[in-house]
Amino acid sequence: MTQTTVSLTLRFKQTALGHITDAFCTDDTWYGVFEKGEPVSCKDYDRAMQYVTFCCEWNERCRDGSDADPDEFVVYDDVIGSGNWSVQEGDCERVAIAEAPVFFSGGDVTWRA
């Protein structure tokens, strides 16, 4: 059976961060490939992208068996549990993401809607 995929816009608050391609859902968890869009000059974009970069680096350290303490995410509490993340397919209504997506090196991303 072939998995149906969609392309989505990822937003933090009102700011588009980029696109998620090949997105699909299985067992209530979404997966896709995040492609950063054109940088936007605003503090929400900057803060969200700091989290994306940190998350990729942290997951890489975890994968390599290096020191990766979950407590390091505390400085991103304002981003992670903010309720300000959403995805949108084309002109359709936005779908809220309860907690921040999880980003990995190479562009992989996962989240629960």
Q: What residue ranges do the domains of the chain occupy?
A: 6-111
Q: Phi and psi at residue 12, in whole multiples of 5°?
A: -120, 120
Residue 95 has pLDDT above 80, yes or no: yes
Q: Where are the alpha helices (DSSP H) in the chain?
A: 43-64, 77-80
**Helix (H, G, I), strand (E, B), or coil: what is residue 80?**
helix
Residue range 13-31, pLDDT digits in tens: 999 999 999 999 999 999 9
Residue 1 has pLDDT above 60, yes or no: no
The pLDDT assigned to 109 comes to 98
Residue 98 has pLDDT above 90, yes or no: no
The pLDDT assigned to 2 comes to 63
92-100 long-range Cβ contacts below 8 angstroms, 24+ apart = 94/11, 100/51, 100/55, 100/76
Residue range 39-92, pLDDT digits in tens: 999 999 999 999 999 999 999 999 998 999 999 999 999 999 878 999 999 989
What's the pTM?
A: 0.92
Average pLDDT over residues 30-42: 95
Cα 44 to the chain's mean position, in Å? 14
Residue 33 has pLDDT above 70, yes or no: yes
- β-strand 108-111 against 102-103: which pairing, if any? antiparallel
Average pLDDT over residues 87-105: 93
Q: Phi and psi at residue 41, in whole multiples of 5°?
A: -90, 85
